[in-house]
Amino acid sequence: MNQAELVIDLDAYRSNLQVMRDLAPTAQQMAVVKANAYGHGMAACARTAREVGTPWLGVATPAEALELRGLGDSGRLLCWLATPGAPFVELIARDVDVTASSVAQLDEILATGAKARVHLKVDTGLNRNGAAQSHWAELFTRAAQAQAHGKLDIVGMWSHLAAADDPTHPANDIQETAFDEAIALAAEMGLQPEWIHLANSAATATRPSVHRDLVRVGIASYGINPDPLVKIDGLIPVMTARARLAHVKDVKAGDSVSYGWRWTADRATRLGLVPVGYGDGISRAASNLAQVGFAGERVSIRGTVCMDQFVIDVGNLEAQAGDWATLFGPGFSGEPTAEEWAQSLGTIGYEIVTQMAGRWTRTVKGGR
Ligand SMILES: Cc1ncc(COP(=O)(O)O)c(C=O)c1O
């Protein structure tokens, strides 16, 4: 019997992909499965996305792209975060679409001597990766020349939004305008890439003008809203994190709990010991803060979250070692969602699910 498990509901994943497809019916969909599919398991999610006909997968690193190819995935796949010396030869040989975020990176891709499918990444204001506006002309000129000589195919042009999760933020208009300027400048230089893409989950839900040819959907596919400001109807959380109590004990008023005695009972109560901790991705910031589902009720974490375990206060509920506590899930049985955990901890749902790692058993349900 599992001690602690992450249950991954692939039927929910498929359903969420469909919800997002319906929101952008004129664009193709890219399922973003980086970071082990935001903690949900890249292999199962990638396979499921392909089964429902998702034409594109997206990952950050070359290693993730090669891992997917190693798993047998053979569809369109884009990776976008590479450092100098990245394995472009292998990526191109394995039919991965690559991103050029600078002239230097384009040159590195060209130096492979292999004909790559390249997406040019332009920075439109996020000021993270991508060619700065002052370098667009140089990047496009070089790309157009290389394409004219048959050395590569510029198949995509893309950028990433800084504040799509806040639909009224001025950055959205500013970035969309800049993106259109980049597309126009590239066209002047003879580049008309087939795949223009800018939208993440939030923009897919709220900003149809940026759907273009392809939307890159990550967090919503895992059933999590990008932000409390962007609620997407019909999403079902894919991950449930649950663990069986290792120990139950009754304490009296005045007894203190866990490292540092940071919680003291003000009444006699019953405590349950949940055998997961920050070694498994449960943030220590959840100490004395987050709640979990137990016997259909919400109960509180008491005291400090430790590396392997934390304590919940089940009050006068019946409890015994071996009973399940559900940290978060879809909320169908009264347990909190990952979004609620995020709100308690002052973070985002992305972080809650992505950091789940360590000693969990993974149980995959649903799917074909
Ligand atoms: C370049 C890029 N596109 C799309 C996504 C998907 O974003 P979201 O999970 O908000 O849908 C990400 C994830 O951060 C990303 O880095």
Give residue-wise pLDDT tens across range 235-253: 999 999 999 999 999 999 9
Give the distance (Å) from ligand 1 centre to CA of residue 213.
16
DSSP character at residue 315: E
Residue 29: pLDDT band with limits 50, 70, 90 = very high
Instruction: Select 239-365's CATH number: 2.60.40.10, 2.40.37.10, 1.10.3720.10, 3.40.50.720.
Output: 2.40.37.10
Report the alpha-carbon angle 64-282-301, nearest 5.
160
For ligand 1, whether the C-beta of 24 sits within 6 Å is no
Pairing mode of beta strands 291-294, 256-257: unpaired
Answer yes or no: are the C-beta atoms of 19 and 223 closer than 8 Å.
no
Q: What residue owns the CA closest to ligand 1's atom 8?
A: 218
**pLDDT above 90: percentage of residues in the chain:** 99
Q: What pLDDT score was predicted for residue 247?
A: 98
- Nearest-atom number in ligand 1 for the CA of 158 is 1
Burial status of residue 347 (CB atoms within 10 A of its CB: 0-12, 13-18, 19 or more): middle
* pLDDT of 368 higher than 90: no
Q: State which CATH number among 3.40.605.10, 3.40.50.2300, 3.20.20.10, 3.10.20.30 fits the domain covering 10-222.
A: 3.20.20.10
Per-residue exposure over 179-206, b if at least 16 CB sit within 10 Å of its own CB, e if not: beebbebbeebebebebbbbbbbbbbbb
Q: What is the pTM of this model?
A: 0.98
Half-sphere exposure at residue 166, Cβ-oriented, CA atoms within 13 angstroms = 5
Region 111-125: mean pLDDT is 98
242 lines ligand 1 (CB under 6 A): no
Rg (CA), the chain: 23
Q: Decide whether any atom of ligand 1 lies within 6 Å of the 218 Cβ.
A: yes
Question: How much is the mean pLDDT over the chain?
Answer: 98
Catalytically annotated residues: 34, 259
Going from N- to C-terminal start, the domains of the chain cover 10-222, 239-365
Both structure tokens of 87: 């394995």
Query: What confidence category does residue 367 fall into, taking pLDDT thresholds of 50, 70 and 90?
Result: confident
**Measured between alpha carbons, how far is 80 from 63 in angstroms, rounded to an integer?**
11
Question: Which residue from 123, 200, 210 has its CB within 8 A of the most atoms of ligand 1, so it is best to mutate?
Answer: 200
